[in-house]
Homo-oligomer: A and B are copies of this chain.
Amino acid sequence: MPLENGFKELTRLDDALEDFLKKLNPINRSGIISIEKGKQRVLGKDIIADRNIPHFDRAAMDGFAVRAEDTFGATQSSPVLFNVNDSVGLKKCKRISTGSPVPKNANAIVKIEDAESKNGKVKIFESVSPLENVSEAGEDIKKGEEVFRRGHQLRNEDIGLLRMLGIEDIKVFDKPKVGIIPTGEEVIPPGSKPDKGEVIESNSIILKLMVKQWGGVPFIEEIIEDNPSKIGEAIKSNLKKDIITLIGGSSVGDRDHAYEVIDDIGTIYTHGTAIKPGKPVILGEAEDTPILGLPGYPAANIITSILFLRPVLRKIGRMKQKPMRTIGAKLDQKIHSPLGFKTYTRVKVEDGIAKHIRTSGSGVLSSITKSDGFIVIDEDTEGLNPGSLVEVNLFE
Interface residues of A (CB under 8 A from B): 5-6, 35-36, 39, 53-56, 58, 60, 62, 95, 97-101, 112-113, 135, 139-141, 147-148, 155-161, 163-166, 168, 184, 186, 190-191, 193-194, 196-197, 199-203, 205-206, 209-210, 212-213, 251, 253-255, 296-298, 302, 322-327, 360-361, 363-366, 368-369, 395-396
Contacts and interface: CB of A to CB of B under 8 A. Distances in A.
A96 to B, nearest CB: 9
Nearest to A251: B98
Given A98-B251, A160-B298, A60 B363 contact: yes
Residue of A95, A209, A213 contacting most chain B CB atoms (<10 Å): A209
A60 to B, nearest CB: 6
Contacts of A327: 323
A139 B54 CA distance: 63
Nearest to A302: B157
A158 B202 CA distance: 10
Given A56-B196, A194-B55, A160 B206 contact: yes
A135 B253 contact: no
Given A36-B205, A206-B157, A163 B366 contact: no
A139 B360 contact: yes
B155 A395 contact: yes
23 contacts: A36-B205, A53-B366, A55-B194, A55-B196, A99-B363, A101-B196, A135-B361, A140-B363, A140-B364, A140-B365, A155-B395, A155-B396, A156-B302, A158-B369, A159-B205, A160-B206, A161-B202, A161-B365, A163-B200, A163-B202, A165-B200, A166-B190, A323-B327
A255 B56 CA distance: 19
